[in-house]
Amino acid sequence: MTQSTRNNTVPPVPQNAVGPKVPPCGYLVQEVDDGVYWVTDGGYQCAFVVCDDEVIAIDAPPSLGGLVTRAIRDVTSKTITHVVYTHFHGDHIGRVDQFPDDATRIAQQETHTMLRETRDPLRRLPDVTFKDSYRMEVGGQVLEMHYKGNNHAPGNSFVYLPRQKILMLVDVIYPGWVPFTNIAQSKHIPGFMAHHDHTLAFDFDTMITGHLTRLGTRQDVEMQREYMHDIRDAAQHALELTPVKRARARDTVGTEHIYEYFKTMYEGAAAEAAKPVIDKWSGRLGGVETLGVNHTLTMYHSLRLDGNVEPHVVFFPPADSSACHDHEC
C-alpha cells in the first residue's frame, strides 16, 4: 500500500467548504435558475445567461480557457452577443478573447480606465461603460450591473439577475472559506469591508463569487462579515500590542536591518492578536488556520494607513534613554 505523503499538520477542510465534484473534462456547468448558469473548475467561476435567441457571457478566467465556450455549447448553440466584465483583473477576464469579436463588451468605467492602461490585447476595451448602474434587457432576461465604489479592485461591480434573485460579485465573498491572502488582494480594505453590507442589501438567494468550491448564500455573506469584523478587532488589538512587540524586536533582531526589525514587530503583534480569531473560526471556515495571521496583519496596515490609526510608539528609541541627555526622546 502506498504511504500517503500528505502533511498531517494541514488542517482538514470543513464540510461547509466542500463543493460539487468537477468532472474529468475539467469543468462543471450547472443551471442555477431559469437560464442562468455557472461554470467552475473548482478554483475559478464564471457565468452565462441564455436568452431567447442569444447568450450573455460573464467573465472568462484563463484557468478555464476555451472550456468556457465549450460549457456554453454544452447547453446551447445560441450566439454570444454580450460579454460582461466584472472587473479588469486578468485572472477573471483574461480569456474573453474567445468570444465573438462583434459581441458587445460591457464594464464599469474604472474597468475601462484600467484596461486602457494595461493594453492587453486579450482583454479588449469594453464597448459600453457606466458609472453607477447599468440595466440590459435581452431576449426575455434582465441583467443589472451596480458599482458601489472601490473594493477588491477599482470597477469591481455587482452583476444582478433580479428575476432569478442571483447575485454575482467576484473576489469579495468566499463561501465556506476565509478570503484569499492579503484579504483577497484588495486594493481598498475599507471598501472591501463595506461590500458585505452592500451585498446583503440586494434581494438574492444565490451568489456566484468567482472563486473556490461552491455557490454562496446570504448566510455565507453574514458569516464572512462576522469573521472580517473579528479580524478588524484583532488588528486593533495588534496595534495596542505594538509597543511591546517593538521592544522585543529591538532586543532580538536589533534595528540595523530595518526591514527585519519592522517585520518582527508587525508579525509578532499580528500573530498574538489573531489567536482568538483562529480558535473561533477553525472548523467553520476553510483556511483560517493558514491565513488568519495574514489577514490580521493586512488589516493592521489598513488601520494604520487607510484609517490613520498609527500606534503611538517611537520606532527607533535609543537603547539607553540616558543618551538623550537634555533632548526629549
Which CATH number characterizes residue 100's domain? 3.60.15.10
Say what the pLDDT of residue 271 is. 97
My answer on whether 29 and 133 are in the same domain is: yes
Are 220 and 207 contacting, i.e. CB atoms less than 8 angstroms apart? Answer: yes
For cell 482568538, the residue is 276
The reported pTM is: 0.90
Section 93-117 average pLDDT: 98
My answer on whether 158 and 183 are in the same domain is: yes
Are 304 and 265 contacting, i.e. CB atoms less than 8 angstroms apart? Answer: no
My answer on whether 162 and 36 are in the same domain is: yes
Q: In the chain, pLDDT over 90 holds for what percent of residues? A: 84
Q: How confident is the model at residue 325 (pLDDT cuts 50, 70, 90)?
A: very low
Q: How confident is the model at residue 308 (pLDDT cuts 50, 70, 90)?
A: confident
My answer on whether 231 and 294 are in the same domain is: yes
Q: Residue 136: which residues within 8 A CB-CB, separation 6 or more?
A: 56, 82, 106, 142, 143, 144
Q: Is residue 57 part of a domain?
A: yes
Q: Is residue 69 part of a domain?
A: yes
The larger pLDDT score, comparing residue 35 to residue 325, is at 35
Show the cell assigned to 95.
480569456
Q: Is residue 7 part of a domain?
A: no
| 3 pLDDT higher than 90 | no
Show the cell assigned to 48.
452565462
Q: How confident is the model at residue 268 (pLDDT cuts 50, 70, 90)?
A: very high
The 158-161 sheet, strands edge to edge = 133-138, 141-146, 158-161, 166-168, 206-208
My answer on whether 151 and 197 are in the same domain is: yes
My answer on whether 78 and 181 are in the same domain is: yes
Q: Which residues of 249-266 are buried (b: 16+ CB within 10 A; e: fewer)?
A: bbeeeeeeeeeebeebbb
If you average pLDDT over each of 1-10, 51-60, 251-260, 298-307, which comes out highest?
A: 51-60
Q: Is residue 222 part of a domain?
A: no
DSSP strand pairing (206-208 vs 141-146): unpaired
Domain span holding position 94: 22-216
